[in-house]
Structure formats: structure tokens, C-alpha cells
Structure 1
């Protein structure tokens, strides 16, 4: 009994013709050996990453329960700040000590981690262009 094996052909192109795109949008042929193509230096990418985003995010604070109400509830906060900067800012505005209980929630739903970036929270959870932060002195939501 004789079995013939069919030759398997791979529909993908050979590796030398696959184009790889870098973060700047230029393309370089993988394995082509073309040395005149430019790729960004690692320092350039790192410096671009290090640049601080100076854009602002509108934050609206809403008191819950027996928490004191702010005289002004709209603030602009730098988008690249971590959420812990928002916590510290609100503590200063309310004249709260670090030992005083203060709970912050986004859209009355969840409490973000202190190291979360404000711009990420705004992109995902904004309401009418504002990041709504509810605050209270006792745990209100899980």
C-alpha cells in the first residue's frame, strides 16, 4: 500500500517581503538588508515617552452622604497626573488630614487605583466631557 503526500504550500509570502512598520509610520522590509532606511533611535522614543502631557481634563467633584460640599466643583487637572494627585488635591481642598477617611469613585461605580493616569480614566469614563468623581467619608460602593 503506497501513500502519496501532497506538498503543502504556505499562502504567506516569504519573510523577505513582509513589511514591518515602526511607530513613526515608515516601513522597512524585514530581512532585505537595506541599510539606508531610517529607524528611530531608542533614545528618541524614550524621550517622546517621557514628555509630560500638558493637556487638561475637566473634573467634576460630587459629594455623597455627609461629605462636605466644595464651593467650586469643576476643576481642570493635568491629564498626565496620576489619580493619587486628584486624591491629594481633594484632601487639600477639604482640609482633610491623611488619617481622615476619604473615598473617591468614578461615576458612582468604582474606585480607581492611585497610580491610574487621569487621561486614561477620562478617555474611558467621561460624561459630557467631564470626569465625574464622587467622594465620601465612608465606603459607599464596592
Structure 2
């Protein structure tokens, strides 16, 4: 069973609907979920907010966050997840923002990805350092991690 299939089973059993807000994964997370037949039972929508302007326009992220701490931060991941939850009518939202590479900086290295998970009970965030393993691998690892976050939230 794939992670997306496990998510579908867990969300169905819990009667929950999920949504996604993606940046560095560019829709791959929503794609992984909707690759599974029957995903329309638990997936309402996903939004790709690759630019800072899109994060503000579509998710309500405060543009001051970009100036003060940057788009790759737990604060922005939190705002993205909160915005997705509020705008979608879903029960749970996950957000992904990071530096897939190539590139990065001393302060924000390639492979750093921030995640947000929002429910009616609040928002949690975390940062994962996947390392400079290459753009495709960082994006794939980010999708898997986000799916695991959703499954974990539905399990607990």
C-alpha cells in the first residue's frame, strides 16, 4: 500500500477531508493523492503557491513575513496551512515550502523544507533537512513526508 493509499483509507475511516498548499513540490503532493482512485472522497483541493505573491493572494500569508524571515520558514508554512484550511472547508491541511535546489545559501541550504499541518485544534510546524540530494529527490521526499504528516494526524 502506498502512502497516498494509506491516507485515503485513514481519511475515509475518520470521515475527514484534506487539502494541500504547496510551494517547492509544485503540485506533486496533490498529484500523489489524486493518483489514487477514490481520492475525491477525501481530497477537496490543492493550491500551488510557488511565488510569494501567490502565497499572499491565495492563502493570505502576510507579505511582511517574506521580508522578515523569508518564504522558507516555519512561520510561512504555518500561515500557508492555516490559510489553506480556512479557505477550503477541509478538516486538515498540510503545507510545504522549501529549497529543492539546486542552490541555497549558508542560512537556507538546499534540501531544507518546512511543513505546516493545520486542523481545528491548531497548527504545528517542522523543518526537515533532506540535504543536497538533488531537486527531484528533495521534492519526492517532501511529498512522502507530507503524506506521513497527514496520516499521523488522522491516526492520533
Q: TM-score, with normalisation over the residues of structure 1?
A: 0.30
Larger radius of gyration: 1
Q: TM-score, with normalisation over the residues of structure 2?
A: 0.28
Give the helix-richer structure, 1 or 2.
2
